């Protein structure tokens, strides 16, 4: 796909974005969920080899296509890897699935109710390499745990600073200030976050767009102004710890927002499955998330 084709697919495509970007710290948990216990590898290289094999199996599955999966977010090692001798981003583009790359390096310790991103070393080189491989955009995650106005303002400021670097490199940033769905002040977090993001979007130059990846709001429809904002290419939602059925129900309550699920997509997949069992389980998950992304329980604005 050309960059223009990728942009059109993400802006208007029916479907959702798969999050296949578990990184070093979360990889053992992801492998355990896949049925591979921690003693199955003796080095980080073997561990990353196992997670790459899992992702390659997903991407290679005949049910994983651009018909319902419009994009996929990759971990850096996955982006740099191959499937059947072809670079992973090229395999995705050939299937009609737009590739993104996770660029954050993890989270700082909590302060002011939030966890900011750690400094992203070597960002310029990573962005240039990603673009050369046919990657369309990036994803960068922060976490909001409580309704602290100063903390949430700082998170959004940092996110948009990184987004501007991504835009300057010719890539599309997915800004992800995740609200912890277990927060006791979740609705207040959503409201503060909405205010800060709208302010940052209004400050963007005319014609410039970003993407947003947000926790499903406690009050459905809270993020409608972001869906409608001219500075937003697409709003996607993370599952945030919800199991897939509940995540899809909550997703369907929010018009114009599509999924970008990780655990909720992968939760039924096991390494021990036959290919037929694996494809059936993956296909069922894709269908359920696609429906939550495209069939809404609220009217979709014309």
In the numeric block, the tokens 């709208």 are attached to 198
The rounded percent of the chain whose pLDDT value lies above 90 is 91
Q: May I ask the CATH architecture of the domain 3-294?
A: Alpha-Beta Barrel (3.20)
Q: Are strands 114-115 and 137-144 parallel, antiparallel or unpaired?
A: antiparallel
Q: Is the pLDDT of residue 191 over 70?
A: yes
What is the set of active-site residues?
176, 213
Averaged pLDDT, 79-102: 97
> 103-138: per-residue pLDDT in tens?
999 999 999 999 999 999 999 999 999 999 999 999
Quote the pLDDT of residue 30: 87
> 266-291: per-residue pLDDT in tens?
999 999 999 999 999 999 999 999 99
Residue 298 confidence class, pLDDT cut points 50, 70, 90? confident
Instruction: Confirm if 86 and 56 have CB atoms less than 8 A apart.
Output: no
Quote the pLDDT of residue 176: 98
Quote the pLDDT of residue 193: 98
Residue 61 confidence class, pLDDT cut points 50, 70, 90? very high
Quote the pLDDT of residue 38: 84
Q: Is the pLDDT of residue 204 over 60?
A: yes
Mean pLDDT of the chain: 95
> 144-174: per-residue pLDDT in tens?
999 999 999 999 999 999 999 999 999 999 9
What are the beta bridge partners of residue 19? 73
> 36-59: per-residue pLDDT in tens?
998 899 998 999 899 999 999 999
Q: Is the pLDDT of residue 302 over 50?
A: no
Q: Is the pLDDT of residue 301 over 70?
A: no
Question: How far is residue 110 CA from its own chain's centroid?
Answer: 22
Domain boundaries, the chain: 3-294
Residue 24 confidence class, pLDDT cut points 50, 70, 90? low
> 25-36: per-residue pLDDT in tens?
778 888 999 999
The rounded percent of the chain whose pLDDT value lies above 70 is 98
Averaged pLDDT, 176-203: 97
């Amino acid at each position: 796909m050309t960059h223009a084709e990728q942009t059109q697919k993400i802006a208007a495509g029916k479907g959702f974005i798969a999050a296949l970007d578990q990184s070093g710290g979360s990889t053992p948990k992801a492998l355990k969920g896949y049925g591979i216990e921690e003693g199955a590898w003796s080095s980080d290289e073997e561990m990353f080899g196992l997670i790459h094999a899992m992702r390659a199996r997903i991407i290679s599955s005949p049910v994983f296509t651009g018909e319902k999966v419009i994009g996929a977010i990759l971990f850096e090692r996955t982006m740099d890897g191959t499937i059947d001798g072809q670079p992973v981003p090229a395999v995705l583009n050939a299937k009609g699935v737009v590739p993104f790359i996770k660029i954050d390096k993890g989270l700082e310790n909590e302060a002011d109710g939030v966890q900011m991103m750690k400094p992203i070393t070597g960002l310029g080189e990573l962005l240039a390499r990603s673009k050369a491989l046919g990657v369309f955009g990036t994803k960068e995650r922060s976490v909001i745990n409580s309704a602290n106005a100063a903390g949430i303002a700082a998170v959004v400021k940092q996110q948009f600073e990184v987004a501007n670097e991504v835009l300057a490199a010719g890539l599309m940033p997915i800004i992800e200030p995740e609200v912890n769905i277990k927060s006791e002040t979740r609705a207040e977090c959503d409201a503060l976050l909405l205010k800060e993001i709208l302010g940052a979007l209004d400050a963007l130059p005319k014609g410039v767009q970003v993407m947003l990846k947000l926790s499903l709001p406690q009050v459905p429809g809270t993020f409608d102004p972001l869906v409608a904002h001219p500075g937003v290419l697409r709003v996607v939602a993370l599952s945030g710890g919800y199991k897939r059925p509940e995540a899809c129900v909550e997703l369907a309550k929010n018009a114009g927002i599509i999924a970008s699920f990780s655990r909720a997509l992968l939760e039924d997949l096991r390494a021990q499955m036959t290919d037929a069992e694996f494809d059936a389980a993956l296909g069922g998950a894709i269908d359920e998330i696609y429906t939550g992304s495209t069939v809404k329980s609220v009217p979709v604005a014309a």
